[in-house]
Structure 1
Amino acid sequence: MGTLTYLSDDDLQALGIGPADIADAIERALIDKAEGRLHTAPKAAILPGGGRYVMSTLAVGGGLTVVKTVTVSPDNAAHGLPSINGAIQAYDAETGLLKAVLDANWITAVRTAGLSSVAARRLADPASESIAFVGTGVQAQSHLDAFAALFPLSRVVAYGRGGESQTRLLEKARAMGLDAEAESDPNAAIAAADIVVTSVPLDYEIEPFLDAGSLRPRTFAAITDLTIPWHDKSLSAFGTLVVDDLEQERSAPRPMVPAETIAGDLTDLVAGRIATPEDDAPRAFAFRGISLGDYAVTRLALERAGHA
């Protein structure tokens, strides 16, 4: 069977994989999928209540099968535990033998921001200088890293529940040389930004509070939270709205957005089947997270670690 490789989150962080590397790896995987070399299954997910979210992904391609299982537990922070926990298993696609086990926290954080980056490369204004965060946890941190590498950011506005996560995000932004401030009104926060990232807890009991109609022209929104904080009727303000995977969205028991508002998915965008918008309407990428992202970053990490 051979030696089983284990890569912890610390091991993965030490590989020096940057945001651009991750976005590039995801784009390559999207092209492989478009050309039939990568096969993915819709994500399986359960929301058992209390903001908890349990999910699993599966992808096969390039001689590798990647399976991930993760639980998001918002209450963990009060106990000094990470809010995201899980593991990734990499198998030889031909023999089915287990090759490697990887911690899932780091990969989950960066692959989500990587998916947003792929969309932002095509939908966001390249001159974007300001970014607003609604939700200030792990995804806000990883998206700040990713978008600071893509755009000439100078200003950060954060709306959250306060506490340590918001403080950490603002301190991180200031350490990067950016002006950063908290905002008590979420719609004022998103109205003042070129890029918006929403990442509230995945809890359908949250009452929607964001109005897409308040966005300025050409704003790009990366919506990582199933559109939970957005008023459904306001989503028509987006001139171009892309989801991560149409098959997954159509099979989901609860759609993120009305079907008629969807221009296509991320594979369509990268394959050139969705035109780059030329109008001034806001644009959005709304996503659940797809197995392709986990596959792409897992493969990249194994290659960097010399275990491909």
Structure 2
Amino acid sequence: MEHETYIRYLSRADIEKLSLSGNELAVSIARTLSAEAKGQAQNFPKTSKIFSDGRLFQSLMAVGLEAPAPLFAATKIIGLSPGNPARGLPIIGGLIVLTSGETGMPIAIMDATWITEMRTAALSLVVAKRFARADSRKIAFIGCGAQARAHLRVFAEAFPLSRVTALSRSRSSAEALASKAQQIGLQAEVADDPRHAVVGADIVITSVPDGPDLKPFLRAEWLSPGAFASLVDLGRCWQPDGFESIEHRLVDDRAQVEASRGYRKLTPDGPYTADLRELMANPGLRRRAENERAVFTFQGVAVADLAVGALVFEAAQKAGIGVLLPR
């Protein structure tokens, strides 16, 4: 077998050549989450080291135990440095190592940036398919960086979007996102007022980077009846009060939330309606009425990296993409 002799290396450019759709990623993630809910995969809480200047190092791992879960182990290491843009570098960098579940041998090393961006957006989509209105047309982005771009791509494939509102502390990034939305045929505006951006939106995506001067500036009460919000930024830009009136408050992994309480707080900070494992175990957990609102706060789970990493590896192997490194 190829991977007994070689390790396949996949750069971001290699992964992008595969042209995997957001729906393909979401289907793979949902299938693996369902397997985890049945004990066929195991997700481990992430470990983190956070520095006072905003630098962060993280490691995540998930293992597929039996089909239909991918029969691999995926380990991801991530580094983040707020000072990188001044160095001409991305804020976040990382790698995923995929290991054979049968032999325990590493079979692939892949760039983690595209996978992290797209698996996060696809994870939002998995929950949005349960709790966002199927006819959602207006989407608002608070924070307009890499996560906003990934969510725009994935959600534009899945919903009949017609209008995008972009708000960012950097007007140039909001204008860039609005331009990208227009390029795919959507109406787009750049907002200066947070309330104006949120009110009336069917879907709200917040991905505001952390910083020493950041103070919460969004209010849950601004969410319109029937709205769905994905708080990719852990809810750091939301004021903590007011979520009691939101019908569905969702989180990715209760155990991971508890494990991180000593150094990281999510908004809302519970109580939660369900986490992903509970959602997958109970298909009836979904929005019941048109006016029910839902928020999904999450830190990211390694089982999603396992799902997407396995999908990427198998597609790359089939297409002959990547560099084969000798052991």
What is the CA distance between 1:237 and its match in structure 2? 2.9
C-alpha distance in structure 2 between counterparts of 1:264 and 1:150, whole Å? 23
SS of the residue corresponding to residue 232 of structure 1 reads coil
Kindly state the Cα deviation for residue 299 of structure 1 after the two structures are TM-superposed: 0.3
TM-superposed CA distance for 1:141, in Å, is: 0.1
Contact 2:22 2:118 in 1 (8 A): yes
Of residues 32, 40, 44, the one that matches 1:41 is: 44
Q: Indicate the SS of the match to 1:277.
A: coil
Paired residue for 1:262?
A: 272
RMSD: 1.8
Q: Which amino acid aligns with 1:126?
A: A
Which deviations, in whole Å up to 9, do the C-alpha atoms of 1:184-229 show, x marking residues without a partner? 1112211131100000113475211110101110100010111111
Count of aligned positions: 308
SS class of match (1:25)? helix
Q: 2:238 aligns to what?
A: 230
SS in 2 for 1:153: coil
The one-letter amino acid of 2:271's match is T
Q: Secondary structure at the match of 1:46?
A: strand
| 1:51-110, Cα deviation, whole Å (9 max, x unpaired) | 433221101114311100112333323333222211111112243221110001100100
Q: CA contact under 8 A between 2:144 and 2:168: conserved in structure 1?
A: yes
Q: Which runs of 4+ in 1 moved over 6 A?
A: none
**Structure 1 SS opposite 2:49:** strand
Q: In the alignment, what sits opposite 2:204?
A: 196
- Aligned to 1:207, the other structure's residue is in SS state coil
1:79 aligns with 2:87: yes
Query: Shift in Å at residue 257 of structure 1?
Result: 4.0
The answer for the alignment partner of 1:282 in structure 2 is: 293
CA distance in 2, matches of 1:257, 1:167: 27
- Residues 1:156 and 2:177 aligned together: no
Structure 2 residue identity aligned to 1:269: L
Letter aligned with residue 306 of structure 2: Y
Q: Tell me how far apart the structure 2 counterparts of residues 284 and 238 of structure 1 sit (CA, whole Å).
A: 8
Query: Structure 1's 53 and 275: CA in aligned 2 closer, same or farther, altered over 3 A?
Result: same
- Please list the CA deviations of residues 144-169 of structure 1 after superposition, one character each: whole Å capped at 9, or x if unmatched: 00110111111111110225422321
Partner in structure 1 of residue 178 of structure 2: 170
1:187 aligns with one of 187, 195, 202? 195
Aligned partner (choices 278, 292, 305) of residue 303 of structure 2: 292
Matches within 5 A, 1:100-249: 100-203=108-211, 206-249=214-257
Q: Please, which moves more after superposition, 109-118 or 267-276?
A: 267-276
Report how far residue 277 of structure 1 moved: 2.1
- 2: CA distance between counterparts of 1:19 and 1:66? 20
Normalization by structure 1: what TM-score?
0.94
Higher mean C-alpha deviation, range 228-237 or range 132-141: 228-237
Asked if structure 2 preserves the Cα contact closer than 8 Å seen for 1:111 and 1:293, the reply is: yes
- Which position in structure 2 is the counterpart of 1:24? 27
2:312 equivalent in structure 1 = 301
Distance in 2 between the 1:235 and 1:203 partners?
23
201-210 or 297-306, which deviates more:
201-210
Name the CA shift for 1:258/1:178 in 2 (closer, same or farther; >3 Å).
closer
Cα separation, 2, equivalents of 1:246 and 1:285: 12
Task: Point out which structure has higher relative CO (alpha carbons under 8 A, 6+ apart).
Answer: 2
- Change in Cα spacing, 1:108 to 1:260, as seen in structure 2 (3 Å) is closer
Q: TM-score, normalised by structure 2?
A: 0.89
Is residue 69 from structure 1 mapped to residue 77 from structure 2 by the alignment?
Answer: yes
Q: State which drifts further: 146-155 or 244-253.
A: 244-253
C-alpha change, 1:85 and 1:96, in structure 2 (3 Å) is: same
Structure 2 CA distance, aligned partners of 1:234 and 1:45? Answer: 29
For residues 121 and 82 of structure 2, the distance between their equivalents in structure 1, rounded to whole angstroms, comes to: 19
String of CA shifts for 1:115-163, please: whole Å, max 9, x gaps: 0000000000011100111100000000000110111111111110225
Residue 215 to residue 235, structure 1, CA distance change in 2 (3 Å): same
Equivalent residue letter for 1:181:
E
